[in-house]
Each structure stands twice: as structure tokens, then as C-alpha cells.
């Protein structure tokens, strides 16, 4: 899991005031949390950063709480704002040197691992077992040129294909509706 250094610095600067000022630095806390959330083993993280297991988990929850409490990290998919759409599309065009001038971002799916759900909580436990060999949610996200996520959906079970997960999301349903899709194309 990699993050562009300027994007990491921006993230840490936004979280710094919500993280404890004593003990580990905001950079270290954020790096450990991102590595864990990116699928890293807590054992590897503890060894790499030289911290105890309890410290690593405390940092993880401190960073998660800071992210949730930081309004500027909220999703900003503003479909009705033509100026925002035009600026966002221009950012992707200039950063990727592409001839396309109407792209807002890139979408991709990832299997986010979860514990095996209980049979009393879901209709079919097997639906959550992904092709990657673990129980998961199929999470879809849109990222813009500045490496910021502007939209996310975590509604689909792990066995669901990315296309099916996207089309069952609110954004996918809106784009499938020809009237809404036409509106989105008019930048």
C-alpha cells in the first residue's frame, strides 16, 4: 500500500490537531494506521515501527477517530456543481497528460476483509467469502487527481464482482438512469 508523500503530508497536517501531542508523532501514528488499514499484519507493523501491540491498536483508533472528526476529509462528490466538476476534470487531465477532458476520477474496487459474519446476521455466509480467500465487503471508491477519495460505497458482499458492486451503488444506479447520466455529462 503506497501513498504519495505530499498526500500523506496533507493528511497528517489535517489530523495533527486531533491526535495526541504526547508520545508518538502524528506521522508515525498515521503511517501505522494506514499500513494496518491497507492489510498489514499488526505483528509486522509492531516490528517495523518498534511499538507494542497495544500501542499500535491505540494509534489505529486515534487516527480513525481523528479522520471521522475531520470535516475536510469528508467525501466531496458534488454532482450538481458545474464549476467543481470542471475544475476536478481539469486536474485529472493536467496531471495525467490525457486528451480526455471530462473525467472526474478513477474508480476501483477492493475487498475489505472482515470477520466471518454469523449465520443469524446474514442470509448466506458464503456470499461474504471473496475470491481472495477471506470474508470481505466489496468496496468501490472514486479517487481524483489529488489522490482524494470523493465517493465510496461499501454495500456489496465479498463474492460480488466489481461491476455488480458498482451498479448496485447509488452512483452506479444514478449513472444507469439515462436522464441523470445526461446531466452528469454536461460539464
**Can you tell me the distance from the alpha carbon of 11 to that of 71, in angstroms, rounded to the nearest whole number?**
12
- My answer on whether 116 and 56 are in the same domain is no
What confidence score (pLDDT) does residue 99 get? 72
pLDDT tens digits along 27-81: 999 999 999 887 788 999 999 999 999 999 999 999 989 988 888 877 777 667 7
* Average pLDDT, integer, range 149-168: 88
Q: Are residues 99 and 63 in the same domain?
A: no
CATH of the domain at 20: 1.10.10
Q: Which residues contact 123 (CB under 8 A, 6 or more apart)?
A: none
**Burial (0-12, 13-18, 19+ Cβ within 10 Å), 68:** exposed
Residue 130 CA to its chain's centroid (Å): 19
Cα distances (Å, whole numbers) of residue 90 to 6, 78, 135: 20, 15, 38
Q: Is the Cβ–Cβ distance between 166 and 154 less than 8 Å?
A: no
Write out the residue range of the structural domain in which residue 132 sits. Answer: 82-185
Hey, which residues does 44 pair with through a beta bridge? none
Q: Are 122 and 164 in contact (CB under 8 A)?
A: no
pLDDT of 167-184, one tens digit each?
888 888 888 876 654 555
Domain identity same for 174 and 151: yes
Show the cell assigned to 39. Answer: 492489510
Of 44, 72, 100, which residue sits at a domain end? 72
15 with 61, same domain: the answer is: yes
For residue 129, tell me if it sits in a domain.
Answer: yes
Amino acid at each position: 500500500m503506497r501513498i504519495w508523500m505530499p498526500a500523506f503530508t496533507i493528511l497528517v497536517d489535517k489530523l495533527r490537531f486531533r491526535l495526541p501531542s504526547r508520545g508518538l508523532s502524528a506521522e508515525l501514528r498515521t503511517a501505522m494506521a494506514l499500513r494496518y488499514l491497507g492489510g498489514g499484519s499488526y505483528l509486522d507493523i509492531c516490528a517495523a515501527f518498534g511499538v507494542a501491540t497495544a500501542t499500535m491498536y491505540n494509534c489505529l483508533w486515534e487516527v480513525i477517530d481523528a479522520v471521522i472528526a475531520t470535516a475536510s476529509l469528508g467525501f466531496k462528490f458534488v454532482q450538481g456543481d458545474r464549476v467543481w466538476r470542471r475544475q476536478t476534470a481539469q486536474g485529472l487531465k493536467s496531471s495525467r497528460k490525457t486528451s480526455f477532458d471530462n473525467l472526474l476520477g478513477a474508480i476501483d474496487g477492493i475487498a475489505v476483509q472482515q470477520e466471518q459474519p454469523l449465520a443469524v446476521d446474514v442470509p448466506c455466509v458464503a456470499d461474504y467469502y471473496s475470491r481472495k480467500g477471506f470474508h470481505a465487503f466489496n468496496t468501490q471508491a472514486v479517487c481524483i487527481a489529488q489522490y482524494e477519495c470523493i465517493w465510496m460505497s461499501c454495500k456489496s458482499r465479498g463474492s460480488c464482482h466489481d461491476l455488480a458492486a458498482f451498479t448496485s451503488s447509488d452512483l452506479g444506479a444514478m449513472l444507469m438512469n439515462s436522464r441523470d447520466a445526461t446531466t452528469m455529462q454536461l460539464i
